[in-house]
Chain A
Amino acid sequence: MNPRVKISILLIGLGLISAFIPYKHNKKNQLKPSVLLEQSLDEQYIISVDKVARFVIDEDSTVQIIDLRSPEEYRNFNIPGSINIPYKDLLNKDYEGYLDQKKMKNIFYSNGDILSAQAWTLCTSMGYQNNFIMQGGLNEWYKTIMNSSFSGERITARENALFETRFKARKVFTEMNSLPDSLKIKFFETKRKNEKKLDGGCG
């Protein structure tokens, strides 16, 4: 048989096989289901509101608090220092840079737990790192940080520290969100400018 015929039969065969391989248009699913499941079961990716309160007071730059609610809800009030990435725009290219980075922890919150759990699963599944959920969302934030008060006879040192953190966070939250809209916008603009400055450096 002519070697040319041989080669062409071989190539046609290979071509047919590759034509029937299912086309995967997204190579972003970097984790396998079994790995994702393992991480889903890991409690370390769930963060309490008290820890978030601590981050807010310390203005911790190693965390990035992400508000998944709509822009209207976010404008009405939000956790100081948070950025708004509405859940419906989560996979928007504009936000990829915020979510897919290794420097900061992403802490997701919404009103409850469902949206943040979904955002967590999707982002983790795409191979993004350091994703966390604020347990209980804003409902828990209000219940624990904004409305709780100490009841009992003697306060231990630990409880004292806890309530002091809550009180400070409450103050920051109320003051920040009570600002008129124009001032809030100004605040965010200066913040963004500062961030841009920080982001610079040798590329």
Chain B
Amino acid sequence: MKNKKSLIIIFLPIILILILVIFKSLNKDNFSLDTKQTHEISLNQEYILSINQLKEKLKASQKTVLVDLRNKDDYAKAHIKNAINIPLSEILNNQEFSKLKSTDNVIVLYSNSVTQSAKAWTLLTQMGYREFFLLDIPSAVISEELLEKDTVFDRDEVLKYKFQPATAAGLE
């Protein structure tokens, strides 16, 4: 009897701590990659897709899913064909989105601006899922038939202008 009691005294704290640890690791509101790893992944710029690269991806794999991060009103007005609407504000708790991730889909994000989708990309990549891409298009072109047209857009990170130095620079 005395032996049993002392066993309980030993194992109770261990079990308690184990429960706490498990509880903490199950908390979803945590990043699984650190900023350094995320930064390294982002250096390889292959996750930024042009409209043509998206078309190729859609052709190559059935598992490519377009996710529209804009709000419901914008989505209702116009969206790219077959895109699923998941507003950015709901992305962390969205059932549909976690389902998409759990079935190994290739997820291509787009939004009103590449700023929004790039922020979303960085945040989500830092949470550990690797198959994210972002679509590099100006927001004004989002429409149902976008993928059927044969248009090419300027890439966001390419400078469209050239600096022209003043001919008589002031040399004070």
Contact = CB atoms under 8 A, between A and B. Distances in A.
Contacts, number: 147
The DSSP consensus for interface residues of chain A is helix
The DSSP consensus for interface residues of chain B is helix
A112 B157 contact: yes
B166 A118 contact: no
A183 to B, nearest CB: 7
Interface size class of chain B, counting residues whose CB lies under 8 Å from the partner chain? 35 or more
A36 interface: yes
B17 interface: yes
B170 A24 contact: no
B23 interface: no
A177 interface: yes
A71 B118 CA distance: 23
B31 interface: yes
Contact of B118 (A14, A26, A117, A142): A117
Contacts of B35: 26, 28-29, 91, 122, 125-126
B131 interface: no
A133 B30 contact: no
Interface of B: 3, 6-7, 9-11, 13-14, 17-18, 21, 25, 29-31, 34-36, 38-39, 42-43, 48, 88-89, 91-92, 113-116, 118-123, 126-127, 134, 136, 155-161, 163-166, 169-171
8 contacts: A10-B14, A14-B17, A29-B35, A40-B88, A77-B163, A91-B39, A139-B159, A142-B159
